Structure 1
Amino acid sequence: MTETTEDRKKRLHYQSHHRGQVENDLLLGRFARRHLDRLEGERLDAYENLLAEADVDIWAWVTGMQPLPARHDNEVFALLRAEAEGKS
């Protein structure tokens, strides 16, 4: 069975709020509340791919503790970083 876009967004919203690292629960949860409904196509794919990464890696990339891999250097990550910096 193929997942509808609406169901996919509900799943990603849940995954954004229930990570395993409190900092990411807060950051990704807030990001999902503000931006997930507007993500479509490649942007939605980019967010889903980011959520597949380990929490420690996401946090290190957002905070600049580790360099961001090229596979995540996109508009969605830029939005997430702006969210983390309070600029979104």
Structure 2
Amino acid sequence: MVKNKKLAKAISDANFGEIVRQLEYKADWYGRTVSKIDQWFPSSKLCACCGAVYQGKWSLAIREWRCDCGSVNDRDLNAANNIHIEGLRLAA
């Protein structure tokens, strides 16, 4: 990657912007919609079972967590479920 962090971020953002543009183009082509989820949406800290939000900070080393409702959540799977639910909510 690029040693200059500001330049690396700009390059990364530009590439991501192109991915979003292509995704929106293809979705429109096939009559689909793309829902954009806010970058600050607490997808990994929101329990998909009960909706409780964990308020503390986590390190990336924490891969699994137990909610007060008793559900055990894999961080990535839980985030994917929450993003899916939020996308459906935004599309409605």
Question: Structure 2-normalised TM-score?
Answer: 0.34
Question: Structure 1-normalised TM-score?
Answer: 0.36
More strand by share: 2
